[in-house]
Structure 1
């Protein structure tokens, strides 16, 4: 997480000359021009669209987040070159402890994670965004294969929120802007350390090679704690890095990681040679198969209308061979052609939800949804 320089605060006073800085938050939104709202909508679209698209297309969410962060940084960098737009995103979305007590500003606890240091109009700043997307890509992709897409996104957002909360509470009432996805990135490290500390992933420490995640996570955390200690003791000058936000994201995600990982594709502490796309796919398939439902119950027999003839033979085949997703669907489709609803005698159809097939009444799902 990055701290905006005092120059931004000086520009704020020049742009919005309120008597008290605490008044500025509500005034900012009230005085925002149509063009300002347009810029904010574009930024939100760039932040959200890649993740929504990836979710629908079953693309890794970790890569979608990297794309989202890069698009937002490019947009933010373009705005840096114009005096009239240079600060609009920081003012609207960055974490500012003085404003956070206002409920209408709570969005900053998440939106600031999509802002990064972009420059001052004279040049671009690359190290902030590159440092974060490097960790999110190299740590996030294998972690997502372990957790699954939904759980990974939850951990990422929890890390971002925890980092911003840590910064807010430790700098209560101050007027300083904090921005960046570092709290979320450190949250991924904390989660990985809590659940699969023996995994090895490609990461650039001394060399770009496989390193134990425990070494990567503890080294990163140790450096952050050391920096906080040096700053507190006055041994080093203040920097533009919000170390407490990194530590907050790490420890909160470490604490919640195992409950979230429970029931995911890979159980915590498993030893299987490390994550892979194949392992993740197998984990997803096992989850879907666990939702297939049993075939022992016979809704037609239960309704006093047992199946006969070809329908009875298809049901028998379904029970014998329907233990895989594909064969279950094939036999259910055949059964739908030769059987009727045991409740209203309507035609049947096959309903597919995340590759799991079920037979249901074409008239009402309340009549039949089986198995």
Structure 2
């Protein structure tokens, strides 16, 4: 029979995520809060939580199949302060940005499915093992893989070695995946399931096309921000690296509201090439009091 603290932990997970879903709040922050609640409960009853909510490859056998629910619950269990702090920090840094891109529904689906995929990859190489697997790392690597595959040019804060840097998500993902691959090849990292990390990452990359087929225009790989815009003209009017970066962002942006906001910001920053004065603009043209006028949108 499941211990009362474990039941409370499961109810807390369902309540927090369910509340965020009903209120249309951020799923990323709901997952973080649920993890922290479970961790606090674990501090008081570690043996009960680890026994009831942790996943083990042995649970995939016919004898223990009723305990397969731990494929989900184990994502909310962590083994120590450093474990949960690092996982939740990375989740906030990349998860919220990705959730804003794809929406709450797709984000939660990717998170849960890739977390399970990571656990199954670990199990495939540890069949029959009774060692417990806990942590959100597989799901977080899944989010990272999906993010890198869909929006590689987005810049996010990520751990690069011992420091955090703002880098293109594709670069961060490749570095993290390379590190995990080296760990696996070297047989290093005792006590850490690097196969679960790689499994989640690959699952995120491979799971993305299924989401696109199911319909979201949100996950289009061709941006909508640059439709009809004469980027050659705009580029000829730029005079700072920041303006050039804005053009690249507009080209790759898939959310119309964001691309429009960036385009307006860029247009407001441009100067007339003749008199260096401010340029006025409407929906299609750029104009200056000196007589300069160019059409930037067809």
TM-score by length of 1: 0.58
The counterpart of 2:74, out of the listed 94, 112, 116, is: 112
- 2:108 aligned with 1:183, yes or no? no
Alignment of 1:248-287 (within 5 A): 248-261=199-212, 262-270=215-223, 271-272=249-250, 279=258
Per-residue CA deviation, residues 346-371 of structure 1 (Å, 9 max, x unaligned), is xxxxxxxxxxxxxxxxxxxxxxxxxx
- 2:135 aligned with 1:169, yes or no? no
Contact 2:122 2:196 in 1 (8 A): yes
Contact 2:6 2:53 in 1 (8 A): no
Q: Unmatched 5+ residue regions in structure 2?
A: 224-248, 262-298
Deviation at 1:210, TM superposition (A): 2.2
Deviation at 1:95, TM superposition (A): 1.3
Per-residue CA deviation, residues 195-229 of structure 1 (Å, 9 max, x unaligned), is 11111112343654421001111111110010010
Q: Unmatched 5+ residue regions in structure 1?
A: 1-28, 80-85, 118-124, 283-371
Deviation at 1:275, TM superposition (A): 8.5
Deviation at 1:184, TM superposition (A): 0.1
- 2:181 aligned with 1:243, yes or no? no
The counterpart of 1:49, out of the listed 1, 9, 15, is: 15
What CA RMSD, in Å, does the superposition of the two structures yield over aligned residues?
2.3
Relative distance call for 1:162 and 1:269 in structure 2 (3 A) is farther
Per-residue CA deviation, residues 320-371 of structure 1 (Å, 9 max, x unaligned), is xxxxxxxxxxxxxxxxxxxxxxxxxxxxxxxxxxxxxxxxxxxxxxxxxxxx
Per-residue CA deviation, residues 97-137 of structure 1 (Å, 9 max, x unaligned), is 123213211111111111100xxxxxxx3111011111211
> 2:276 matched to which residue of 1?
none
Deviation at 1:276, TM superposition (A): 8.7
TM-score by length of 2: 0.71
Name whichever structure is richer in helix by fraction.
2
- 2:85 aligned with 1:130, yes or no? yes
Deviation at 1:60, TM superposition (A): 1.0
Alignment of 1:197-216 (within 5 A): 197-205=152-160, 207-216=163-172
Relative distance call for 1:264 and 1:226 in structure 2 (3 A) is same
Contact 2:93 2:156 in 1 (8 A): yes
Distance 1:100 1:274 in 2: 42
> 2:182 matched to which residue of 1?
226
SS of residue in 1 equivalent to 2:60 = coil
> 1:103 matched to which residue of 2?
65
Distance 1:196 1:59 in 2: 22
Deviation at 1:277, TM superposition (A): 12
Contact 2:144 2:201 in 1 (8 A): yes
- 2:96 aligned with 1:141, yes or no? yes
